[in-house]
Structure formats: C-alpha cells, structure tokens
C-alpha cells in the first residue's frame, strides 16, 4: 500500500493588511496554499474573515502576544503604552518572570472568543505569532486554553537542520535555534493536553528571500523520501505522513497594515511577494507529483491520521 503524503501549506498573518490578504486569497484559489492562520487583532481581520468564509478557506487562529494592540483589556504586565512588548521584549519579560501568566490566559481566551465572533465558530487549529506558543512559561497556558475551547491541532516548529543553516545575523540564528529547542519540551505539553501536531514541520529556513524551489524540494525530500524527520513518531512505519509548511505570502503592504502600530519591515519588503512567486512555480507542482504529495488542510490530516 502506497504511503499517503499530506502537506499543509499554511499562510500566517491573514488579516494583516488588504495587500497581504489579497495575495493569500489568490494563493488559496490557485491551489498554492491549503490553510491560513488569522490574526484577530490585525487591522484587516474582519474583512479577512469575510474572505475566508466567501472562499471556504480552512482558517485557524494565529495567537498574537507580541505585536500591536491587545484584544482584551486591563493588563498591567502584558503591555507598554497600550501595546504588546514586541517580539523580543515579550520573550525577555517572560524569562525574567515579569509577565502575569493570568494575563496571558485572559488574552489567549479573548483572541479565541474574537475568532469565534468573526468566523462563526471556534478554531480547529491554532498557532503562535512569532512562535510565542512554545515559550516555556507560555506553552502550558496556551495549551490549556486551546484544550478548554475544543481546539484539536497546533503547530510544533521543530525543524531539522536549523542549527546548520547560514543565517543573516547571529541574533536570527540564535532565535531560530531557540524555537527548535523550545519545541522539544513543548511537544510533551501539547501531547498532555491532547493537542495533535503534524508529524513534521518546515518553514523556518524558507522564509522570505530564503525561499527557493530547490531548497523546498530538498526539505520535502528529507520528510517524505528520506524519512529523516526529527519527530518521535516513526514516520517510516506510518501509512500517512503529514507535514506543515509555514509560509508568509502576500503582496507588498504599502498602506494601512499591522496590528495597530503599522506594518513591519517584512510586510513592506518584497519578501512576501517573493514567497508568492515561489509558491506558484510549476517546478514545485512537479515536486509534489514526484513525491506523491497531496496538499491538505489540518482537518483532513487529522482525519487521515485518526481514521
């Protein structure tokens, strides 16, 4: 019996801007992606939710604790001047014990509640903006809130080969290695809360200008052909192989965007457009065919594994 190879190509940051969302919808309608994660505090979240329902896009929650305005109110430690503490500011504050964990719980719940209002139902899958959901001290609360709200699937960004990658800056290298290391312990937390994750994950090494067809093909080969996935689920013995590929496509944000503080440099650069261009390449379609890969959403992967 031939192994079923399923790939979730998930576009993060849906709701960030009109331009981003237009690009994501175009990718979905053309079959380049199979799932999205919605920033409910994004300035375009309401319209993004309408687009998701209009085009029947499989949509999960992109929990944001680092960028822009909060969804909930009355926080003392989670914000500064009315906004989140930033990508590294939040991490530093958690590590130094300066964040009231109950505020994290309240904000994650507020974002789940807003997702339900926007989409008409709770999320089937949820992940963390800038990978906040695997941070020690955060992951336990994140997982508990998801379980309490019936979420079935989350992201485990434990990607093989990150340590040997050549990164743009030492800070970026350290950040990527930290994500993978934190994912090791997070995997046990997710399992204890009955949160399912794809067997493999790629995307840390293919963000923005780093994305190239030959690079993606090499990573997919490691997952589906060589079976050198870094997870503990013995994929070589499974009849179904599931992998999540995290992507960030979209047109360049030239107008309003972000989560209340304006768009970031990544959104205003051509990196998003570059990802769209790579995702549309016929050579990538050929890779899927040669490796017997079918694009799927998280519900389809979950059902295939549990059938």
pLDDT tens by residue, 163-219: 888 888 889 999 999 999 999 999 999 999 999 999 999 999 999 999 999 999 999
User: What does CATH list as the number for 4-305?
Assistant: 3.20.20.370
Tens of pLDDT, residue by residue over 50-109, are 999 999 999 999 999 999 999 999 999 999 988 999 999 999 999 999 999 999 999 999
> What residues act catalytically?
12
Residue ranges per structural domain of the chain: 4-305
Residue 118 near residue 53 (C-beta atoms within 8 A): no
Q: Would the pLDDT of 234 be above 60?
A: no
Question: Higher-confidence residue: 115 or 230?
Answer: 115
Q: What is the pLDDT of residue 260?
A: 87
The rounded mean pLDDT for the chain is: 93
Q: Would the pLDDT of 228 be above 80?
A: no
Q: What is the pLDDT of residue 231?
A: 55
Tens of pLDDT, residue by residue over 238-286, are 689 999 999 999 998 888 888 988 888 888 889 999 999 999 999 999 9
Pull the structure tokens for residue 128. Answer: 């963390």
Single pTM value for the model? 0.95
């Amino acid at each position: 019996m031939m192994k079923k190879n399923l790939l979730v190509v998930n576009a993060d940051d849906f709701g960030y801007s009109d331009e981003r969302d237009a690009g994501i919808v175009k990718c979905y309608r053309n079959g380049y992606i199979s799932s999205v994660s919605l920033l409910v505090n994004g300035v375009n979240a309401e319209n993004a939710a309408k687009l998701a329902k209009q085009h029947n896009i499989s949509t999960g929650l992109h929990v944001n604790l680092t960028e822009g305005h909060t969804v909930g109110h009355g926080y003392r430690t989670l914000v500064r001047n009315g906004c989140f503490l930033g990508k590294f500011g939040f991490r530093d504050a958690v590590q130094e014990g300066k964040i009231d964990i109950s505020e994290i719980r309240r904000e994650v719940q507020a974002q789940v509640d807003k997702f339900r209002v926007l989409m008409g139902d709770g999320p089937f899958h949820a992940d963390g903006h800038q990978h906040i959901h695997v941070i020690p001290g955060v992951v336990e609360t994140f997982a508990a809130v998801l379980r309490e709200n019936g979420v079935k699937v989350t992201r485990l960004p434990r990607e093989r080969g990150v340590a040997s990658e050549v990164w743009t800056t030492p800070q970026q290298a350290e950040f990527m290695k930290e994500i993978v290391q934190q994912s090791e312990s997070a995997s046990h937390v997710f399992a204890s809360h009955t949160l399912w994750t794809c067997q493999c994950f790629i995307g840390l090494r293919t963000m923005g200008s780093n994305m190239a067809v030959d690079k993606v093909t090499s990573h997919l080969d490691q997952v589906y052909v060589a079976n050198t996935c870094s997870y503990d689920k013995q994929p070589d013995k499974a009849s179904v192989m599931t992998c999540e590929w995290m992507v960030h496509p979209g047109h360049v944000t030239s107008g309003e965007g972000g989560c209340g503080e304006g768009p970031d440099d990544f959104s205003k650069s051509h990196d998003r457009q570059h990802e769209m261009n790579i995702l549309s390449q016929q050579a990538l379609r050929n890779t899927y065919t040669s490796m017997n890969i079918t694009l799927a959403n998280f519900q389809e992967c979950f059902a295939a594994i549990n059938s």
